[in-house]
Amino acid sequence: MSFENLGLHESLVRAVKDAGYETPTDIQAQAIPAALKGTDLMGSSRTGSGKTAAFVLPALDKILAHRQADAARPRGKNYGPRVLVLAPTRELAMQVAKAAQTYGRHVPGLRICTVLGGMPYPLQIKQLTSPLDILIATPGRLMDHIQSGKCNLENVQMLVLDEADRMLDMGFIDDINFIADKTPAERQTVMFSATFAGHVGRLAQQLLREPQRVDVSGHTDTHENITQRLHWADNNNHKDQLLESILGGSDVDQAVVFTSTQRDADWLAERLQDIGHSVAPLHGGMPQGRRNRVLMALRRKEVRVLVATDVAARGIDVPTISHVVNYGLPMKAEDYVHRIGRTGRAGREGLAITLAVRDDVSMIRRIQQFTTQTIPVAHIEGLEPKTQEPRIFPPRPAGAGFEDRPRGGRPGGFGGGSKPGWGNKFGGGGQGFHRDAGKPFVRGEGGGPRDFAPRGEFQPRGEFQPRGDFAHRGQGEQRGNFEGRPQHFERKPFAPQGENRGFAPRQDRPAFGGDKPRFDGGDRRPSFGDRPSFNNDRGPKRNGPPAGGPRRGGFGR
């Protein structure tokens, strides 16, 4: 299928060909025709699949369809944009704006505005009060302009939520609902997200009307153009040596090194610069102007190594990035997929390398379970780990049930192996509890299930003998099988009204406050005030006076 067959305007098809694209990707081939019909859309695709063009091209086509109507409007009034795009990060919003300018180069008088945090207000206010076609913004800064009355969204015909799952993870749920309420109810809503489960699905039910679902690929798909590797390090010093060896290779064109925190990004960028690398950091704590300069230097190949946090994992689109190195592992397994998606773009080959220590075993396991793929372990000659590498079992395939699990469990754990476990205790052989298809759970015994002897036939206990009428029982009679035990059910008389209704003291011991000592044959235990209180500066304090006097030397003294 070609772009001409999708139903796009001729000027858009010409702009796409000028950008070097001949055939649409899978997400573009399915999402563009559905968006051109005006229906709401829910789309999912892996990173680097051309998702941005899947909603930018229909948005530009909608603007071209209303170009004559816009020209006939009376001037001097702020009508606001026709297309509103919400993005979670500034880098992703700038990427969408760049795509809109690229594909809209042949659209006459196209006006695009970006409203981002970290940029001056006067310029944004000037753009918002001028004639506008497409508004691309982050939710927080856009809310500021709406509340100040500088932004008009009454004429929005298409609302796009890009990376909706990421925006909800960043806490923009209330901002999105507030912004959506300011747009017309009859608008078209397009939502792209890595998943539509949980709170993302509930948001889609609130904002979308009978949407069409386009699910091209998910997080379990194999990245054909990306080779993944896992290097185990003995410690952080060993990990630094592995990173220096990888970045020193001649096959590295440009690389992105991901860290877990902003402080690590600044520290690692400074360290790599000291050993001779052309490097720059990129994280959310930097001013927007500096972040823009770093990205421009990366595209012009003035920066060979970019040290970034996850804030840049979904906003960098540089085809010349050949390597991605996970120096610090992400907080969520979903971010791993977006990290490695920074390489292998536009049909190029890429290499994704993860450096991990033993403390990262649980995160590596979660990543492999999320992607249902095993990251191959590799070694660098001369830098092999000296300690034993952790063993991580391969993830179960998607849809595998209990019957598909390997028999016997993990070595040395429940289910057998070299160490004694439940499998060796019950029957031996390391089989443990297992299940055969169509059979109930049985205990394993060596090579097969144990044959239990059948139970005997059911023997009735005899006919039921009633106990008789309970009303004719006298007080003190034997009841049930407790023969000879007297039954005492004396009812105490009610106290007259106004008297004390407390419990009467028993005869064998005095009531509370009596003179009988608490412990027969022993002295009274010391109270808190009698025990010595220790202080590092003053030493142990003296005991308090005997019982009955005021407590001194206790807590607070």
Both tokens assigned to 50: 């051309």
Q: Are 255 and 244 in contact (CB under 8 A)?
A: no
Q: Does pTM top 0.75 for this prediction?
A: no
Please give the pLDDT value at position 459: 53
Q: Are 254 and 322 in contact (CB under 8 A)?
A: yes
Q: Are 279 and 243 in contact (CB under 8 A)?
A: no
Of 108, 51, 275, 82, the residue nearest 183 (C-alpha): 82
136, β-bridge pairs: 85, 114
Domain(s) of CATH 3.40.50.300: residues in the chain: 3-215, 226-371
Please give the pLDDT value at position 396: 60
Taking each continuous run of H as one helix and of E as one strand, the counts in the chain are 16, 16
Q: Are 53 and 45 in contact (CB under 8 A)?
A: no
Residue-wise over 165-183: b if at least 16 C-beta within 10 A, else e? bbbbbbebbebbeebbebb
Q: How far is 323 from 285, CA to CA, in rounded Å? A: 24
Please give the pLDDT value at position 333: 85
Q: Are 6 and 24 in contact (CB under 8 A)?
A: yes
| Domain 3-215 is found in CATH 3.20.20.70 | no
Q: How far is 324 from 305, CA to CA, in rounded Å? A: 10
Helix ranges restricted to H, 164-211: 164-169, 173-181, 199-207
| Domain 226-371 is found in CATH 3.90.950.20 | no
Q: How far is 202 from 284, CA to CA, in rounded Å? A: 29
Q: Are 440 and 446 in contact (CB under 8 A)?
A: no
Please give the pLDDT value at position 448: 43
Q: Are strands 279-282 and 350-356 parallel, antiparallel or unpaired?
A: unpaired
Per-residue pLDDT of the chain (557 residues; tens, 9 = 90+): 788 888 899 999 999 999 888 888 888 999 999 999 999 999 887 666 788 999 999 999 999 988 877 766 777 677 889 999 999 888 889 889 999 999 999 998 899 999 988 788 888 898 898 889 999 999 989 999 999 888 999 999 999 999 888 888 888 889 999 999 999 999 999 998 877 877 888 898 889 998 999 887 655 555 678 899 999 999 999 999 999 999 999 899 999 999 999 999 999 999 999 999 999 999 888 887 888 899 889 989 999 999 999 876 666 778 889 999 999 999 888 889 888 888 887 678 899 999 999 999 999 999 998 888 899 999 999 999 998 888 876 666 554 443 444 444 444 333 344 443 343 433 344 443 344 444 444 444 444 444 444 555 555 555 555 554 544 444 444 444 444 445 544 555 555 555 444 444 555 555 444 444 444 444 445 444 444 444 444 444 444 445 444 444 444 43
Residue 62 neighbours by CB under 8 Å, 6+ apart:
82, 83, 157, 158
Q: Are 337 and 371 in contact (CB under 8 A)?
A: yes
Q: How far is 281 from 485, CA to CA, in rounded Å? A: 86
